[in-house]
A = this chain, B = another copy of it.
Amino acid sequence: MPLPAQGRNSRRPALTSPTRRQSQHARIRAIVKDRILSGAWPPGFQLPFETDLAADFGVSRMTMNKVLTELSRAGLLVRRRKLGTVVAAPRVQAAVMEITDIEAEVRGLGLPYDFSLLTRALRPLTPEEAAAARPGPDDPADALALIGLHWAAGAPFCLEQRLINPAAAPLALTQTFGPENPGAWLLREVPWTTALHRIRAINAGADLARLLQIAPGEACLEIRRRTESSGRWVTLVHQTYPGTQHQLVARFSPTGDHA
């Protein structure tokens, strides 16, 4: 006997406070999203079945399906029939600007890759660095400062100066950053980050030219990136690519181009 429609709120009493402004799927989506972004549900985590989740949240399966479908479209979840729903592995920088995984970039060129760490220190942020990192009140004053070189086929490929927030990645303090470069390690350790890039052309100074084995004054591409996760700054990177060799490639479409 199909009840003749008693309205969407039949089982949910009106909330006392007027906080109730968002829809069910918006509320549930925010909850699930937060569990993923916060790491409570790490990549690979298997979610309860759609039916169970719907029951847990007290909504119909259609509503729950809407949430999961949207998060799947957004790339946070991977859904496969019979297998169920799992948290996705973070895409490398939305596949739109592949400057995060330099090792993959170099190997994609068919070249052998290496990374060497030049310096490593735990030190306070300079005022300039603090202005760029914008640390929160409970972030420590000291940061792990690394300088390293990415190599491609024995030639310097990219100079990297990096600061890491120990509060965001405590294990970084005991990490050697040997064969695995800091960027790749961080991507595993703190997935689901947001990044702000600033890209400039600069003339190589004496020090930079020596490190990159190029002539002083040669044009270099400099990328500064601030990365945060759940509002907390994770890392601050300066990457400098020598000369005219390197180019960034980015594709954009107005649609988001899912199909």
A residues adjacent to B (C-beta < 8 A): 2, 26, 29-30, 33, 37, 74-76, 90-91, 93-94, 96-97, 191-203, 217-222, 241, 243-244, 246-259
A226 nearest CB across to chain B (Å): 10
Q: Do A197 and B252 touch (CB < 8 A)?
A: yes
Quick one: given A202-B244, A221-B200, A246-B200, are A195 and B253 in contact (CB under 8 Å)? yes
Q: Do A219 and B248 touch (CB < 8 A)?
A: no
Q: Knowing that A74-B256, A219-B219 are A-B contacts, what are 8 other residue pairs whose CB atoms are under 8 Å apart, sorted by A's residue number? A: A91-B254, A93-B252, A94-B252, A195-B251, A201-B244, A201-B246, A203-B203, A250-B250
Q: Do A200 and B90 touch (CB < 8 A)?
A: no
Contacts of A196 in B (CB 8 A): 249-251
Report the Cα distance A167→B193, complex, angstroms: 43
Q: Do B198 and A255 touch (CB < 8 A)?
A: no
Q: Do B199 and A199 touch (CB < 8 A)?
A: yes
Quick one: given A76-B255, A258-B74, are A249 and B197 in contact (CB under 8 Å)? yes
Contacts of A255 in B (CB 8 A): 33, 37, 74-76, 192
Contacts of A249 in B (CB 8 A): 196-199
- Count of chain copies: 2
Q: Which residue of B lies closest to A94 (CB)?
A: B252
A79 nearest CB across to chain B (Å): 15
Report the Cα distance A191→B33, complex, angstroms: 33
Q: Which 9 A-B pairs have the closest CB atoms?
A: A201-B201, A219-B219, A194-B253, A201-B219, A199-B248, A201-B221, A197-B250, A200-B247, A203-B219
A206 nearest CB across to chain B (Å): 15
Q: Do A251 and B201 touch (CB < 8 A)?
A: no
Contacts of A222 in B (CB 8 A): 201
Contacts of A193 in B (CB 8 A): 253-254
Report the Cα distance A57→B99, complex, angstroms: 44
Quick one: given A194-B251, A219-B220, A220-B219, are A256 and B200 in contact (CB under 8 Å)? no
